[in-house]
Amino acid sequence: MKNEETDNPRRNGEGLENPSRRTLLRGGVAAAGGAALAAGLAARGAGAAISQHADPLITDVQDWNRYPGDGVDARPYGLPSQYEKDVVRRDVPWLTADSKSSVNFTPLHELDGIITPNGLCFERHHGGIAEINPVDHRLMINGLVDNELVFTMEDLKRFPRENRVYFLECAANSGMEWRGSQLNGCQFTHGMVHNVMYTGIRVRDLLNEAGVKPEGKWVLAEGADPSLMTRSIPIEKMMDDCMVAFKMNGEALREEQGYPIRLVVPGWEGNMWIKWLRRFEVGDQPWQQREETSKYTDLLADGQARRFTWEMDVKSVITNPSPQAPITHGKGQTVITGLAWSGRGKIARVDVSLDGGRNWQEARIDGPSLDKSVHRFYFDFDWDGSELLIQSRAMDEQGFIQPSKDELRAARGTNSIYHNNGIQTWYIKQDGSAENVEVSS
């Protein structure tokens, strides 16, 4: 990791006592930052003229050019280059009492495109990682059905398969930022999200095989890990687009992600995506849920709680530049990039601001635009080297627009840690470094 600051829990911990890590006034950034907006790309482009460089990396033969490398038998399961060793999931040790009921974060600032590599998908589990031999795994359907059934893995693989790319976001993503900017890197502020292609079968097919009785309105999904992680899900959602997945990005689910099978609940909060899935019970009402479940409500300022807030709201974040990924090339041609997603469908548009939300310009979405999947956006501009307050704001196909953090707090207060989809601001300094801040108008 390039930025030691993010590695040091005490440094980050200080932010807890003084929740507003840093609030900047929009006026604090020189208007020049905005002036660069309309300009084309600078005279200083991204390459260097050959004549000006007697670069030994060009003129001399290098070791990797001279000696043959490893053979095809050296790497039966391929791993990234040794030079990518800092591209890893990271946790924040002070966040939870025990790493077996905790979370680590996807290194969003190191990735591009829309697919999260399997080894980098954030992990959230409440009872550690269950290690299950698929031969010993069973999925049971009981309750209000005509035939109570038990499936082996082999049985499950005889149902018709689907391939779907979906994001999974924990409802607590950005939860530490409700009261003010705190964690210095998008890995920590936004890294409880991943986006992979699932291969699996439709829950609908399984439930139809069992035959749901007319009174059956809810399905309890249960995991095989010590937390059990039971969740009540409306039958309409289960019959609509839920999947039982056994592959992610083409290969078996990782154990961290619920090997051998997990429930996929597209667009809905991560805690319902039961891993190590072992049982569906059909009932006529939501179950008296365990303590862990009741915490997944959103406490408002007046003491009322929002319940059943399952759909994930439209959200986006600039991943580069960001505190762990500063601008190191100086002024001139610069790429801003980030991710946008919505539990309500596709992303219709992403805007980027360089001046803390005063002026907005449309970003370019590139790569597949899929339902309930992350979208990759780019904003190419000519940085004049002045300070910037960069933000992204997403709009989904249903017309929902990502709110500012102030707007969100006005509506919801600051009691909840869930469903924070407010606009993120990074303060870019003249040396290219970036800091997590908030702007107020």
Ligand X SMILES: Nc1nc2c(c(=O)[nH]1)N[C@H]1C(S)=C(S)[C@@H](COP(=O)(O)O)O[C@H]1N2
In the complex, the residues that contact Mo ion under the rule CB under 5 A are 124, 170, 270-271
For the bound state, the minimum distance from the C-beta of residue 171 to Mo ion, rounded and expressed in Å, comes to 6
How many angstroms separate the CA atoms of 94 and 412, rounded? 26
Q: How many residues does the structure list for the chain? A: 441
Q: Which stretch binds ligand X (CB under 6 A): 2-10, 52-60, 274-282, 320-328?
A: 274-282
Contact string 276-305 vs ligand X (x = CB under 6 A): x-----------------------------
- The contact pattern for ligand X, residues 70-109, with x = CB under 6 A and - = no contact, is ----------------------------------------
Binding ligand X (rule: CB under 6 A), the pick from 12, 257, 391, 420 is 257
Q: Is 43 helix (H, G, I), strand (E, B) or coil?
A: coil
CB 187 within 8 Å of CB 90: yes
- Exposed/middle/buried for residue 312 (C-beta within 10 Å: 0-12, 13-18, 19+): buried
In 3-state terms the chain splits into helix, strand, coil percentages (rounded to 5) of 20, 30, 50
> What minimum distance in Å lies between the beta carbon of 178 and Mo ion?
16
Q: 377: helix, coil or strand?
A: strand
Cis check for the bond before 323: say yes or no (omega within 30 of 0).
Answer: no
Closest to 319 (Cα-Cα) out of 417, 403, 193? 193
Q: Give kind and range of the element (H or E) at residue 200.
A: strand 193-202
343 DSSP assignment: T
The nearer residue to ligand X, 22 or 126, going by C-beta atoms, is 126
Among 143, 270, 326, 356, binds ligand X (CB under 6 A): 270
| Among ligand X, Mo ion, none, partner that 104 touches (CB below 5 to 8 angstroms by kind) | none
Q: Is residue 165 a contact point for ligand X (CB under 6 A)?
A: no
Cβ closest to ligand X, residue 257 vs residue 424: 257
Q: How far is 320 from 220, CA to CA, in rounded Å?
A: 40
Residue count, binding to ligand X (CB under 6 A): 21
Contact region with ligand X (CB under 6 A), list: 3-11, 271-279, 358-366, 372-380: 271-279
Tell me the C-alpha to C-alpha distance, in Å, between residue 228 and each of 31, 127, 285. Answer: 55, 8, 19
- Output 116 or 392, the one with its CB closest to Mo ion: 116
Output 276 or 400, the one with its CB closest to ligand X: 276
Residue nearer to ligand X on the CB measure, 186 or 388? 186
CB of 29 to ligand X, least distance (A): 35
Our separate counts of H helices and E strands in the chain read 10, 24
Min. distance of Cβ 274 from Mo ion in angstroms?
11
Question: Closest CB to ligand X among 34 and 128?
Answer: 128
**With respect to Mo ion, which residue has the nearer C-beta, 170 or 340?**
170
Indicate which of ligand X, Mo ion, none lies near residue 164 (CB less than 5 to 8 Å, by partner kind): none
Tokens 């933000």, located at residue = 391
Q: ∠167-136-197 over CA atoms, to 5°?
A: 20
Q: With H, G, I as helix, E, B as strand and everything else as coil, classify residue 232.
A: strand
Selection from ligand X, Mo ion, none that 168 binds (CB < 5 to 8 A by kind) is ligand X
> 258, 270 in Cβ contact below 8 A?
no
Determine the Cα–Cα distance for residues 418 and 44; give it in Å rounded to an integer.
44
Distance CA 14, CA 360 (A): 33
Q: Which of 400, 227, 406 is nearest to 311 (CA)?
A: 400
Per CB under 6 A, the list member of 186, 229, 261, 325 interacting with ligand X is 229
Considering only the stretches 85-93, 137-145, 267-275, 377-385, report the one whose residues sit in contact with ligand X under the rule CB under 6 A: 267-275
d(CA 141, CA 150): 6
Nearer to ligand X, 246 or 276 (CB): 276
How far apart (Å, rounded) are the C-alpha atoms in residues 178 and 200? 36
Q: Which one, 125 or 164, has the nearer CB to Mo ion? A: 125
Tell me how far apart the alpha carbons of residues 273 and 271 are, in angstroms, rounded to a whole number: 6
State which of residues 105, 268, 273, 377 lies at the interface with ligand X (CB under 6 A).
273
Site for ligand X in 167-226 (CB under 6 A): 168, 170, 194, 223, 225
Binds 274, which of ligand X, Mo ion, none (CB < 5 to 8 A, cut-off by type)? ligand X
Closer residue to ligand X (CB): 99 or 440: 99
Question: Contacts with ligand X in 120-149 (CB under 6 A)?
Answer: 121-126
Q: Applying CB under 6 A, which residues contact ligand X? A: 121-126, 168, 170, 194, 223, 225, 227, 229, 256-257, 270-271, 273-276
